[in-house]
Structure 1
């Protein structure tokens, strides 16, 4: 790959996908899917045309993965939410790499509206949901469109498993 920044981004997307598949027990010790047809396998979709469908699909979430020096989280979240619609998924979140940290320490940012919808789908009170999955708020001024909740990829993996179990 000629562009080193694109290579870093692609590597981060692959790291996130591999981590979630591994922690969910969807792959063997060599990283091969146990069931290639399982709809819950976490995948990096091929990009098609102008309607971007996100970087990683972890049903029911679209993950917009970013490996950047200066994160613009509200912008990333808007992008993730649009891409979730394009992909036909209910939730879009942003996953930002933390420099010099393992993939499990990547920061998962969730818009307040999406956070509330996921919380209600699990039937949890706000404080219980935040505590169970390690969410902390980022309330940026009076514009609620810039508010979001943050956890790490390790806790998000647990949340993903719980959301999937609640959907069955």
Structure 2
């Protein structure tokens, strides 16, 4: 890739996909030795977290992890409120109920990345799925934060109570 920022973003999206799928047990045991297209236990499983192609004006997010749109950010200076508005608009475009942002934590693995969700979206999620782990609050803004490892547990809990409409 000629654009280093795009290459870094693609690598970060792939790291999120791989961490989350491995955490959820959706990858084969020897997945690290396989090309991305051959890592899944079942390529057609609706639970797979997958990178999405760019959709032009109606972007549908970087990754789909039903029922979440994941917007991946690998930048030094955070702009979380702006990113959250973007993630929520992309969730609407994709027909998903929730949009979140995953911001890379410098010098840490993907499990320590920060997953941000708006106060409004978290309250809807908590009403839809009682008993999910509460994230930590950001006192200056109206958003909440989990690590990606904690969010993967939330994803497991949410999926235990719902399935996509097509299922």
> TM-score if structure 1 supplies the norm length?
0.89
- Determine whether 1:158 maps to 2:165: no
Instruction: Name the TM-score, length of structure 2 as normaliser.
Output: 0.90
Q: Are 1:23 and 2:23 an aligned pair? A: yes
Q: Secondary structure at the match of 1:167?
A: coil
Mapped partners of 2:121, 2:5: distance in 1:
29
Runs of 4+ in 1 over 3 A off after TM superposition: none
Match of 1:13 in 2: 13
Aligned residues: 156
Structure 1 unmatched ranges of 5 or more: 141-145
Residue range with higher mean Cα deviation, 29-38 or 94-103: 29-38
**Paired residue secondary structure (2:82):** helix
**Does the residue aligned with 2:43 lie in a helix, a strand or coil?**
coil
Unaligned runs of 5+ in 2: 32-38
Residue by residue over 1:71-122, the C-alpha shift from the partner in whole angstroms, topping out at 9 and shown as x without a partner, is 1000010000000001110000000000000110000000001111111111
